[in-house]
Structure 1
Amino acid sequence: MQGERPSSAPSTVLGRQLGDELRTMRERVGLTTTAVAVELDCTKGKISRIENGRSPVRGPDLAAMLRLYGADEPAVHERLTELARSANKRRKAGWWSQYGNVLAETYRDFIALEAVASSVRTFQSQTIPALLQTPDYTRALAVASRSWSDPAEIEQFVEARLMRQHRLIAEDPLSVWVVLAEGAVRQQVGGPAVMRAQLAHLLTVAEMPNVSVQVVPFRVGAHASMAGPYVILGFPAASALDVVLLDNPSGSMWLERSDEVKAYVGLWNDVRTKALSPVESLELIRSIEELGT
């Protein structure tokens, strides 16, 4: 995700994620927005704006809504409170805020969502995904992107990307399932030495229980995901909706509507079945590494 100048600014992405969960909870217990508004002593419009991600949610209101919906378990309350806090403060509370000079708001929004996500499914056509990159590989991509001319800023970007990787080894680790086009593991980013180290690292992290790596070999030919890379974030609550992120050189685009997300989940299921198995994929990566790319 090198595009640091967003083509769309998803200022309500976190709010919408929270709103989607609250709406699903409300509908599950059969309450109308009018009934909830009466209980909270507010307008029906306020409830609608909260559910659409256009209005911040105060702590007391969130607690009251969760009680109404029968979802006030401590773990649920803590997770949604943190999501509301991130949405209300526009991601200023997280560790990523200190990298505001090198990370665009789009990227900070993504990191904030990733911080509360439980899973990542991604297809990458040209590069190794950020969570599995080595510092030298990340640095080579940053230089090639021409987003920064100051070496210090490039190092800050590399540092921020490494911070994201802590989710892989956290107490509640992020589940990561990566499907790579074969070109992504053959493209010499940073030169032969950097790429050999990157492939060796990929082989190592692929052995982690929460990481799966597959490769779509060239021989598969055309497939539906060739249009470009995408990331699907999943969340721990059963009521939570997935979010899709699309990247391009000018920025990023978020997809949150259920029909749009469903379409990308379909693409994902298609490409993972066309890919080599995890075991066969690692054999291919290992053969490329041994050949010195």
Structure 2
Amino acid sequence: MPNVKPSTVLGRQLGDELRRFRDAAGLTTAAAADVLDCTKGKISRIENGHVPVRTPDLIALMQAYGVNDPAARERLAALARRANRRRREGWWHDYSSMLSDSYRDQIEMEAICDGIRTYQVQLVPGLLQTAEYGRAVTVASRTWKTAEEIDRFVDVRLARQERLTGGTPLDYWAVLSESALRQEVGGSAVMRAQLEHLASMAERSNVTVQVLPFSRGAYSGMFGPYLLLSFPQMASLDLVLTEAPTGNIWIEGELEVARYRALFDDARMAALPPTDSLELIHRIAKEYRE
């Protein structure tokens, strides 16, 4: 499946227009955030074309910014309609009937971010999973019942992985607890292939994998799992996605995101260096051959 990014050109055009009107009205991003009852980070993502603008939000912003000219209001509304239509052309919308809103949001954000840092406790992260490992995880989740549903969900996971290998691969840094390497998912053959694949991916220039061995004991960064997504414009656009059985949660407050950055830094500092981590992955993979 091709690595198709949603076009954000129209979104950036709309964001530029909204920023210009906000500046003309003398309002800060904090004031605009109050209008939508959201964070400053969301306003920044709107103005940088990273998230779609819902019609009620657009109307509220235009009113707050004093955009009263009918032609200007229609121009902004037309831009929003076209930008949102372009976003709906992402490959993942072929699977929209089976994807939760939070998972679809995750895929959209993966498509436009330039870096992901993740800490995983129990499982190999989705972007580094083999098809067989991903299938075993999907079956165990009991979310999907039929073989067709399971196949389609695994297809989505594999399509997401092109963000690591496509034309403009993102920078990916994963810190994994040793338990993720030893939790036998799908049987020994599946685990052996998974760890060999993990080691292969860790040798890519845009992928860093570190392992936190059991011998490290307790440390301040051992809370997870989570993903920290970064964007090229500014750190204030960064997002955190925490994973939970009842649904994933987005965190966008600057102070909260900064806390997760600190947690990740603690985790990577406590983990084995990449070279030593790769040696440990190979060593555990050999154990599954026995």
Q: TM-score, normalised by structure 2?
A: 0.74
Please state if 1:217 is matched with 2:209: no
Could you report, residue by residue, the CA deviation over 1:5-64 in whole angstroms, capped at 9, with x for unpaired residues? xxxxxxxxx9xx98xx879x96xx9x7461479xxxxxx979954838664588xx9xxx
Per-residue deviation at 1:270? 0.4
1:178 aligned partner: 174
**Change beyond 3 A, Cα 1:227–1:239:** closer
Distance in 2 (alpha carbons) for counterparts of 1:170 and 1:254? 26
**Does the 8 A contact of 2:222 with 2:267 survive in 1?**
no
1:51 aligned partner: 43
Letter matched to residue 174 of structure 1: L
Please state if 1:122 is matched with 2:118: yes
1:280 aligned partner: 276
Distance in 2 (alpha carbons) for counterparts of 1:183 and 1:244? 23
**Change beyond 3 A, Cα 1:33–1:192:** farther
SS of structure 2 residue aligned to 1:248: coil
Match of 2:162 among 154, 160, 166: 166
SS of structure 2 residue aligned to 1:127: coil
Match of 1:96 among 82, 92, 97: 92
Percent same amino acid at aligned positions? 44
Match of 1:34 among 21, 25, 36: 25
The total of aligned residue pairs comes to 244
Q: Say what the alpha-carbon RMSD is for the aligned residues.
A: 3.5
Letter matched to residue 161 of structure 1: R
Per-residue deviation at 1:105? 1.2
Match of 1:264 among 260, 263, 276: 260
Could you report, residue by residue, the CA deviation over 1:67-106 in whole angstroms, capped at 9, with x for unpaired residues? xxxxxxxxxxxxxxxxx77984595321111112321111
**Change beyond 3 A, Cα 1:33–1:245:** farther
Please state if 1:206 is matched with 2:197: no
Q: TM-score, normalised by structure 1?
A: 0.74
**Does the 8 A contact of 1:244 with 1:254 survive in 2?**
yes
Letter matched to residue 43 of structure 2: E
Distance in 2 (alpha carbons) for counterparts of 1:208 and 1:46? 40
Distance in 2 (alpha carbons) for counterparts of 1:36 and 1:270? 37
1:140 aligned partner: 136
Per-residue deviation at 1:181? 0.3
Letter matched to residue 182 of structure 2: R
Which gives a bigger RCO, structure 1 or 2 (Cα 8 Å, sep 6+)?
Answer: 1
2:75 aligned partner: none
Per-residue deviation at 1:224? 2.7
**Does the 8 A contact of 1:174 with 1:210 survive in 2?**
yes
* Gap regions ≥5 residues in structure 1: 1-13, 38-43, 66-83
**Change beyond 3 A, Cα 1:286–1:255:** same
Distance in 2 (alpha carbons) for counterparts of 1:219 and 1:256? 33
* Gap regions ≥5 residues in structure 2: 1-7, 37-41, 47-52, 66-79
Letter matched to residue 92 of structure 1: R
| Runs of 4+ with >6 A deviation | 44-47, 84-87
